Amino acid sequence: MYTFSSKLKNLSLILMVLGALGIGVGFFTAPKNTKDVEAILAADSHGGHHAEAAHEAAPAHAAEAAHEATPAAHQEATPASDSTEEHVAEVSKDSNAVAAANVDSTVAKTEEHVAEELAKPSHEAEAKGHEVAEADEHAEHLTHVLHQLQNKPWAAFYVAALFFMLISLGVLAFYAIQHAAQAGWSPVLFRVMEAITAYLVPGAIIVYVVLVLSGLHLNHLFVWMDPAVVAEDKLLQGKQGYLNVPFFLIRAAIFMGGWIAYRHFSRKNGLALDQTNDLSYYKKNFKLSAGFLAFFLVSESMMSWDWIMSVDPHWFSTLFGWYVFASFVVSAVTVIALVTLYLKSRGYLEYVNNSHFHDLAKFMFGFSVFWTYLWFSQFMLIWYANIPEEVVYFKFRIEHYNLPFFGMVVMNFVFPILILINTDFKRVPWIISMAGLVILAGHYLDFHNMIYPATVGDQWFIGLSEISSIAFFAGLFIFVVFTALTKAPLLPKGNPLVEESKHFHY
């Protein structure tokens, strides 16, 4: 039996308390009205020059507004509200290919020239209404930034909540695969996996609460939940049959209920198998796992549309569900490896040997490459075809999230592929831990990059709110997982494959 070390328990409690404080401060310091925003913008590096700030922010605003108004409505609105030639040039550049942003100077000049020509006829007429339009736009811009800054602590909380809940879900899926595949190497790790999936219950409840609060309009994470936005947006009206709050919450409840039910019964059967040595429990778990995997495939895909893709309700991608799955399953395997390494180093897992770590590290390596494959497939197909309604998603990320967007590819692909390709390295605990921490950080960034651009826009920053949210959920995760580990012996004796697993070597 495992006993929760008091040091680790204190660490988790400290993380939770500090995290909760930081989250509270994040919510408390979020701007309340546009005046606060004006002060924040003035203090910004734009130099406090109001006209300049408004002007500089305009192109960014153009791209961000995509989630609040339809792209079509927005593109009509922009030229009317802004009359400077440069801005028109910006817009025409905006509609270009992502990579063409840093197009060579001759081309840029020609473009500017063309834009000038185009702008001339309307130029004089608009010059009169120029000042009025600018003031209007300034106010609109402030409201927009206000919403983004108010979203920031929510988004930080939501990303961390989702990330840790999905890790737990990924472990559950991996666990079900091990059962359904009748894997001979992994039964000695079953109790570790079961303990990690114990986080699914509190984790899912917290995510569900955030979804309900969003449905009650306490934040602007999901723009399609705002009736005022939907009223002006034909695209969102068209999606109302699927994207409406009651159906959304019912779906979420069904998905989470299904996952938690599988978790509950498989654990129960596993413990009963230990006590009775009755193989009918083993067979039950086998069937249950196969059924769960079918349910999981469908629910996971829809979950990714609901909870992640719908923050960008104008955008869609068909392989998104798989992409999200790859992201959290690699994190999940990494967490299994890290928890196992920790327990082994404390002398709790007698039968876990280098070969088990080797296998886990191989899965970390393989799923990292799988994630990259899906990331690249999604990115490259959209980049290649460059259809405006799809490409805005990546265009905005590359412009405003350049470092996290490409940095995560380095962390999630280049780093693991170079470190974990070596057979000897895959058996060295500190190398697995180091690679694991980089992979986890990289996949947190991945979820950050999925949620933030649509909710916080270019006002993102990985600061107090984000780090506190991570700390809070990390603390809660550690607390729940290691408490669950104390509830049952770490070796599932009754499993018919456990003998093979004990002597597993590669």
Partner 1 sequence: MSNKVIHALYNDDDVLMDAVKQTRKAHHHIEEIYTPFPVHGLDKAMGLAPTRIAICAFLYGLTGLSFGTWLMNNIMIHDWPQDIGGKPSFSYIQNMPSFVPIMFEETVFFAAHLMVITFYMRSKLWPFKVAENPDVRTTDDHFLMEVAVNNNESELTSFLESTGAVEVKVIEKH
What are the structure tokens assigned to 232, written together? 């002006």
Min. distance of Cβ 361 from partner 1 in angstroms?
16
Min. distance of Cβ 100 from partner 1 in angstroms?
5
Min. distance of Cβ 434 from partner 1 in angstroms?
20
Q: Which is nearer to partner 1, 7 or 505 (CB)?
A: 505
Q: Which is nearer to partner 1, 104 or 124 (CB)?
A: 104
CA atoms within 13 Å, Cβ hemisphere of 252: 23
What are the structure tokens assigned to 125, written together? 């007429």
304's CB contacts (< 8 A; 6+ apart) are 320, 321, 323, 324, 325
Min. distance of Cβ 380 from partner 1 in angstroms?
4
Min. distance of Cβ 423 from partner 1 in angstroms?
8
Residue 99 contacts partner 1 per CB under 8 A: yes
Q: Which of 218, 228, 380, 387 binds partner 1 (CB under 8 A)?
A: 380
Q: Which is nearer to partner 1, 87 or 397 (CB)?
A: 397
Determine the length of the chain. Answer: 506
Q: Which is nearer to partner 1, 132 or 385 (CB)?
A: 385
Q: In this structure, how many other beta carbons lie within 10 angstroms of the beta carbon of residue 74? A: 16
Residue 410 contacts partner 1 per CB under 8 A: no
Q: Which is nearer to partner 1, 6 or 102 (CB)?
A: 102
Q: Which stretch binds partner 1 (CB under 8 A): 293-301, 312-320, 331-339, 372-380?
A: 372-380
Q: Which of 5, 10, 402, 423 binds partner 1 (CB under 8 A)?
A: 423
Min. distance of Cβ 107 from partner 1 in angstroms?
9
Q: Which is nearer to partner 1, 45 or 102 (CB)?
A: 102
User: How many whole angstroms separate alpha carbon 388 and alpha carbon 379?
Assistant: 14
Is 468 within 8 Å of 26 (Cβ atoms)? yes
Residue 406 contacts partner 1 per CB under 8 A: no
Residue 6 contacts partner 1 per CB under 8 A: no
Min. distance of Cβ 402 from partner 1 in angstroms?
13
Closest CA to 148 of 55, 97, 221, 42: 221
Which residues in the 306-365 window bind partner 1 by CB under 8 A?
none
- E strands, 157-307, are none
Q: Which is nearer to partner 1, 93 or 487 (CB)?
A: 93
Q: Which stretch binds partner 1 (CB under 8 A): 28-36, 81-89, 351-359, 375-383?
A: 375-383
Q: Which of 282, 371, 379, 444 binds partner 1 (CB under 8 A)?
A: 379
Residue 417 contacts partner 1 per CB under 8 A: no
User: How many whole angstroms separate alpha carbon 304 and alpha carbon 269?
Assistant: 29
262's CB contacts (< 8 A; 6+ apart) are 172, 176, 288, 289, 292, 295
Residue 100 contacts partner 1 per CB under 8 A: yes
Which residues in the 26-85 window bind partner 1 by CB under 8 A?
none
Check residue 414 and report its DSSP letter: I
- E strands, 272-401, are none
Ramachandran sector of residue 5 (left: φ over 0; alpha: ψ -120 to 50; beta: rest): beta
Q: Which is nearer to partner 1, 409 or 485 (CB)?
A: 409
- E strands, 364-479, are none
The separation between CA 252 and the C-alpha centre of its own chain, rounded to angstroms, equals 17
Q: Which is nearer to partner 1, 190 or 370 (CB)?
A: 370
Cα dihedral angle (321, 322, 327, 329), rounded to 10 degrees? 110
Min. distance of Cβ 99 from partner 1 in angstroms?
4
Which residues in the 78-97 window bind partner 1 by CB under 8 A?
97
| CA Rg value for the chain | 25
Which residue type sits at 50? H
Min. distance of Cβ 397 from partner 1 in angstroms?
14
User: How many whole angstroms separate alpha carbon 416 and alpha carbon 432?
Assistant: 10
Per DSSP, the three-state class of 352 is: coil
**110 burial type by CB count under 10 A (0-12 exposed, 13-18 middle, 19+ buried):** exposed
Q: Which of 51, 104, 132, 430 binds partner 1 (CB under 8 A)?
A: 104
Q: Which is nearer to partner 1, 255 or 393 (CB)?
A: 393
Is 389 within 8 Å of 338 (Cβ atoms)? no
Q: Which stretch binds partner 1 (CB under 8 A): 174-182, 283-291, 335-343, 374-382?
A: 374-382
Residue 421 contacts partner 1 per CB under 8 A: yes
Q: Which stretch binds partner 1 (CB under 8 A): 28-36, 56-64, 166-174, 380-388?
A: 380-388
Question: How many residues make contact with partner 1 (CB under 8 A)?
Answer: 14
Q: Which of 265, 383, 415, 506 binds partner 1 (CB under 8 A)?
A: 383
Q: Which of 21, 25, 77, 103 binds partner 1 (CB under 8 A)?
A: 103
Q: Which is nearer to partner 1, 42 or 114 (CB)?
A: 114
Min. distance of Cβ 375 from partner 1 in angstroms?
11
What's the sign of the alpha-carbon dihedral 339, 341, 345, 350?
positive
Per DSSP, the three-state class of 46 is: coil
Classify each residue of 341-373 as buried b or exposed e, where b means 16 or more C-beta atoms within 10 Å of its C-beta: bbbbeeebbebbbeebbbbbbebbbebbbbbbe
Q: Which is nearer to partner 1, 265 or 383 (CB)?
A: 383
What are the structure tokens assigned to 355, written together? 């070969």
Q: Where do contacts with partner 1 occur on this chain (CB under 8 A)? A: 97, 99-100, 102-104, 376, 379-380, 383-384, 386, 421, 423
